[in-house]
Amino acid sequence: MVFGGIEAGGTKIVCAVGNRSGEITSKKVIPTSAPEETLMEVKAFFSHFDLEALGVGSFGPVDLNKESDTYGTILNTPKTDWKNFDLLGRLKGDYQIPVYIDTDVNAACLGEYRYGAGKCVNSCLYITVGTGIGAGLVQDGYTFQGKIHPEMGHVMVPRHSDDSFAGCCPYHGNCLEGMASGPAIEKRHGNKGYLLSHDAAVWEIEAHYLAHAIVNYTLILSPERIILGGGVMKQEILYSLVREKVSKLLNSYVDVGNLNDFISAPALDDEQGVKGAITLAADR
């Protein structure tokens, strides 16, 4: 039996076909343009396969409330072509097979939970630090949605004493995403993150914000493992800085076990999203 997975991102859509063992047998990356154009290319790719079911990890916000009339619709996105687009309805119409939808970060978390850095634990949180910041949660094999879905990238974090940057979240200014996303680093320091590797102050400030958010997530959700991915985390120094700060902030109040395991890097080499999307289809 083969299953389809779609990781729908703001810049690219990754389509893949795979099985229950987490093996991907075919994959295609399609740039995200207007919905019609993009989904025609997606359909052309999947037309070569006899799929049992399809899973989608989508950029958001997306309505994940199964009781809602707009279940599976992309909501208030800055990508205006996709605003109010009924993604789930459209895919169900295109393929006539069961289609399951979740957030991109929940799908990535599920991929890591099943096949990657979270495969030895019962609960894990996956955080992506990239163009935006988001996090997904899996407990006992199920992703968490709540009413619509969590927006953990927009939590408030205390300002670093050496930081005067106002923040760049269009909704909240200085929320976590406004202070610690890739674009926030670029706006604060006037240079892209990958060109700032040797500037220790940049990563000290970055780790400060990530650590405060991680402490809050730990206290609220108590995950067994926290996996940090996304473009900004290519700065590997961040893992040790974040671990050190999380440890200091928690001050032994909660026992998170070995910190190197508790806060870890992803293991699926940028395929966690699409593998998680396939898992959504295969599991249900």
Q: Give the whole-angstrom CA distance, residue 273 versus residue 252.
A: 33
Q: Which residues in 18-57 contact ligand ADP (CB under 6 A)?
A: none
Reading the block at residue 113, the tokens are 């939970």
Q: Give the whole-angstrom CA distance, residue 128 versus residue 164.
A: 24
Beta strands 142-143 and 123-129, pairing class: unpaired
Reading the block at residue 255, the tokens are 């026992």
- Binds 21: which of Zn ion, ligand ADP, none (CB < 5-8 Å by kind): none
Please tell me whether residue 234 binds ligand ADP under the rule CB under 6 A. Answer: yes
Closest approach of Cβ 130 to ligand ADP, in Å? 2
Q: Is residue 250 within 8 Å of 211, Cβ to Cβ?
A: no
Q: How far is CA 183 from CA 87, 168, 176, 191, 240, in A?
A: 27, 8, 12, 9, 22
Identity of the residue, 49 or 171, whose beta carbon is nearer to Zn ion in the bound complex: 171
Q: What residue spans of 222-253 are helical by DSSP H?
A: 237-250
Q: Give the whole-angstrom CA distance, residue 26 versus residue 16.
A: 6
Closest approach of Cβ 47 to ligand ADP, in Å? 27
Closest approach of Cβ 175 to Zn ion, in Å? 3
User: Which residue in the set 182, 223, 273, 276 belongs to the binding site for ligand ADP (CB under 6 A)?
Assistant: 182
Supply the DSSP symbol for 74.
B
Please tell me whether residue 175 binds Zn ion under the rule CB under 5 A. Answer: yes
Binding region for Zn ion (CB under 5 A) out of 175-183, 192-200, 203-211, 222-230? 175-183
Closest approach of Cβ 44 to Zn ion, in Å? 36
Supply the DSSP symbol for 253.
S
Residue for token digits 């096949």? 115
- Binds 131: which of ligand ADP, Zn ion, none (CB < 5-8 Å by kind): ligand ADP
- Select the residue whose beta carbon is closest to ligand ADP and give its number: 182
Closest approach of Cβ 151 to Zn ion, in Å? 8
Please tell me whether residue 235 binds ligand ADP under the rule CB under 6 A. Answer: yes
- Binds 172: which of Zn ion, ligand ADP, none (CB < 5-8 Å by kind): Zn ion
Identity of the residue, 14 or 124, whose beta carbon is nearer to ligand ADP in the bound complex: 14
Reading the block at residue 264, the tokens are 């870890």
Please tell me whether residue 171 binds Zn ion under the rule CB under 5 A. Answer: yes
Q: Give the whole-angstrom CA distance, residue 77 versus residue 55.
A: 21
| Footprint on this chain of ligand ADP (rule: CB under 6 A) | 9, 11, 128, 130-132, 182-183, 192-194, 230-232, 234-235
